[in-house]
Structure 1
Amino acid sequence: MEINLVSDTVTKPSPEMLRYMFQAQVGDDVYKQDPTVIALENMVAQIFGMEAALFFPSGTMANQTAIKLHTQPGEQLIADKYAHVYNYEGGGASFNSGVSCCLLDGHRGMITAEQVAGAVNNPEFYHSPLTSLVCVENTTNKGGGACYDFEEFKRIKEVCVENNLKFHMDGARIWNALVHKQENPNEYGKVFDTISVCLSKGLGAPIGSLLVSDKATIKRALRIRKILGGGMRQVGYLAAAGIYALQNNVNRLVDDHRRAREIGAVLAQLPWVEKVEPVETNILIFSLKKGFDENLLVEKLKQKNIFISSLGPGKLRIVTHLDYKEVMHNYVLEALQKLK
């Protein structure tokens, strides 16, 4: 029994999801003639109280499209230093949009309205790049699955309005945040200009993200997706997986969150663990005491068929997900407690 806790992207479609996919009605989505894709786009737009959505093969492409929509070459976006759009999208912001990133030192990947206001360049000072966009991530990946306080989003939005900035959310794990905070996704649609949402992490679909916004913005996004090579043909089979995931796999995220908290509680009691970051959702980050080698720990767990990630010297990550079952969970808790 292999237990992969490296990421929540390792899940495979369940037999029920596969059956739903095989039964999908499909068409050519490049011509916007795939009924299942259209149904998914309408469903996600409605969830967030926005006018339209567009299906993408990846969250990276959805985020990069949003950046391209809201900026011009030579301009600058504001984000946390841990932001996925900066760290894990291959330098796409500079390559695709020609923009630089003003990185803020937030708390666990989360920035404040005060920080944003202090980072906006004076638009009259032409020696500095023009600030045009603020990007936030919810939940935060490198921040250990932390969730923003929604009131902070409102405060950041006020700064954006005052300074004529666009506001984008990388919602790769927004479903985890919505379940944990018991929030109404419609409220997000009132605050953000664009939101990217992922189906292939906590929800267990094999592929797919969507960008959500108003109709005019999504019409422009369609052209950018084409330029980036994101046009797909009979992609309704994949969109069907997203529909199934939204109908069946959102509420069960509480199980992932509980298991992550229980692993964190066990780790906090172990003599070789220095610190466990607060666990809110399904990502757990912990650090080892001096003298302990994170690579050795990874190897010892691998020998027990448990796979986790190293984040660098003394720091490790565990991510719970749909395919991590209770029997696996009990085995992991026991294995950690016995580890010497």
Structure 2
Amino acid sequence: MSSRGVVDLRSDTLTQPTEPMRQAMASALVGDDRYGEDPSVNRLEERFAALVGKPAAVYVPSGTMGNQIALRLHGTPGSNVVVGRRQHLMSYESGAAGLNNAFQIYAVDDAGGVIDDAAATEAVAAGRGGFWPPVSLICVENTHLASGGLALGTEELVAAAALGPPVHLDGARLFNAAIARGTTASELASSTATVMSCVSKGLGAPVGSLLAGPADLVDEARLHRRRLGGAMRQAGVIAAGGLYALDHHIDRLADDHARADRLGQVVAERWPGARLGESEAACGRPLTNVVAFRHPDSLGLLDHLRQAGIRAGLLAPGIVRFVTHLDVDDADIDRAVATLSSAPD
């Protein structure tokens, strides 16, 4: 239930630790993670690696750092890295890829969350033929935020891997995708070289993300984490929150999806065709806990919502975003639905 009468739907990063999670954090065994001696961090890394079907994982402070480390692991100097033009690591990481690396980003269309196969195939073939820089990495995002939280399936990820270069999966909300698809995170990540997921979004932990892959790459990732200032000491206090989230908060993501669907139905009624991902969802690619839609007066709508104690955000100019999470219950959604229903066109 929201606190202080405010229903905050700006992001699922806003969650507060539950009381059992706080107890787990307070009683966590800790050590120096820089030396690999924090038992809670080690357990979290092992648990996550098992869930995504990879040999090893490293705990990092943020999803952005996890993605940037993955780019360093795979992206060789002078190469092209194929990225969907609206993926998080392209548009929402403050230009870090270009600042931190010596490769080129080769941006392709990613309508509906799927990278343009023809454009990516051309880049790979031209690189192999010596006409263009070689492609050292292909990046995929699941769920795809800019498409309104669409969940990709195994087939789309297998298709990306079939292009040849290794695939990095930005799975910040990968467990949302797994629940929506009725599969596992391990199955979705099976064709990828590395995968990053956040425990600080829908899973409800206060801090952190994990990057998983082959053991040798994860060893190298620890070095990059240190170079980027992300090596942590007695991090078990926060790692325990992530471990609790993985053990207790995955299945409940279905509740967030159901609540987002209620909001989405109102949006579809009030502003037909405005919701992002609507057509893909109608064709069987499920939406998850994000409701994003175009509105002619997005700032005015945000103000209308704010006056009623409902907080929303913008995904881009003119695109309103709601994100459901474990701190939002059915009563909160009732308030948001009523406020949307009374909003001016």
TM-score, normalised with respect to structure 1 = 0.93
1:148 to 136, 142, 152: 152
Q: What is the rounded CA distance, in whole Å, between the counterparts of 1:113 and 1:100 in structure 2?
A: 19
Aligned to 2:140: 136
Q: Tell me the residue number matched to 2:237.
A: 237
In the alignment, is residue 276 of structure 1 matched against residue 283 of structure 2? no
Deviation track 1:201-228 (CA, whole Å, cap 9, x = no partner) reads 0000011001101111111111111111
One-letter amino acid matched to 1:239: A
* Contact 2:113–2:152, Cα closer than 8 Å, also in 1: no
8 Å Cα contact 2:139-2:170 kept in structure 1: yes
Q: Could you tell me whether the CA contact under 8 Å between 2:80 and 2:134 is conserved in 1?
A: yes
- Structure 2 equivalent of residue 252 of structure 1: 252
1:300 counterpart = 2:304:
yes
Task: Confirm or deny: 8 A CA contact 1:134 1:167 kept in the other structure.
Answer: yes
Q: Distance in 2 between matches of 1:94 and 1:127?
A: 22
Q: Is the 8 A contact 1:273 1:287 kept in 2?
A: no
What does residue 112 of structure 2 align with? 108
Contact 1:113 1:152 (8 Å CA) reproduced: no
Alpha carbons 1:81, 1:109 under 8 Å: kept: no
**Structure 1 residues 186, 268: closer, same or farther in 2, change over 3 A?**
closer
Aligned to 2:227: 227
Q: Which runs of 5+ in 1 are unaligned?
A: none
The residue aligned with 2:199 is 199
Partners in 2 of 1:47 and 1:276 — Cα distance?
32
Judged with a 3 Å threshold, the aligned counterparts in structure 2 of structure 1 residues 311 and 52 are, in CA distance, closer, same or farther, namely: closer
Structure 2 unaligned residues grouped into runs of 5+: 282-286
Q: Which moved more, 1:205-214 or 1:260-269?
A: 260-269
For residues 316 and 219 of structure 2, the distance between their equivalents in structure 1, rounded to whole angstroms, comes to 42
The 1:231/1:175 distance shift into structure 2, 3 A limit, reads same
The aligned amino acid for 1:57 is P
Does residue 32 of structure 2 align to residue 33 of structure 1?
no
Distance 2:273 2:151 in 1: 23
Aligned length: 332
1:73 deviates by 2.1
Assess, with a 3 A threshold, how the Cα gap between structure 1 residues 95 and 175 changes in structure 2: closer, same or farther.
Answer: same
Change in CA separation of 1:146 and 1:111 when aligned onto 2, cut-off 3 Å:
same
Distance 2:35 2:322 in 1: 41
Change (3 A) 1:85 1:337: same
Q: Secondary structure at the match of 1:13?
A: coil
Letter in 2 for 1:282: N
Q: Is the 8 A contact 1:20 1:244 kept in 2?
A: yes
Distance in 2 of aligned mates of 1:296 and 1:267: 16
5 Å matches for 1:79-118? 79-118=83-122
Greater Cα shift, 140-149 or 50-59: 140-149
Structure 1 counterpart of 2:144, which letter?
T
Change (3 A) 1:82 1:124: closer
Equivalent AA in structure 2 for residue 276 of structure 1: R
Q: Compared with structure 1, are the counterparts of its residues 4 and 111 closer, same or farther at alpha carbon in structure 2 (3 Å cutoff)? A: same
Q: Secondary structure of the equivalent of 2:13?
A: coil
Cα offset for 1:143?
A: 1.3
2:116 and 2:155 map into 1 onto residues whose CA distance is 10
Counterpart for residue 170 of structure 1: 170
- Determine helix, strand or coil for the equivalent of 2:274: strand
Deviation of the 1:108 alpha carbon: 2.5
Change (3 A) 1:114 1:123: closer
Q: For the structure 1 residues 312 and 211, does the alpha-carbon distance in structure 2 shift closer, same or farther, using more than 3 Å as the test? A: closer
| TM-superposed deviation, 1:113 | 4.0
Partner amino acid for 1:4?
D
Is the CA contact 2:33–2:41 (under 8 Å) kept in the aligned structure 1?
yes
CA distance in 2, matches of 1:261, 1:304: 21
User: Hey, what does 1:211 align to over in structure 2?
Assistant: 211
Aligned to 2:284: none
3-state DSSP of counterpart to 2:113: coil
User: Which of 285, 289, 292 is the equivalent residue of 1:285?
Assistant: 292
Measured after TM superposition, the shift of residue 338 of structure 1 is 2.4
- RMSD across aligned positions (CA): 1.6
- 1:118 partner SS: helix
Code of the residue aligned with 2:323 in structure 1: it is: V
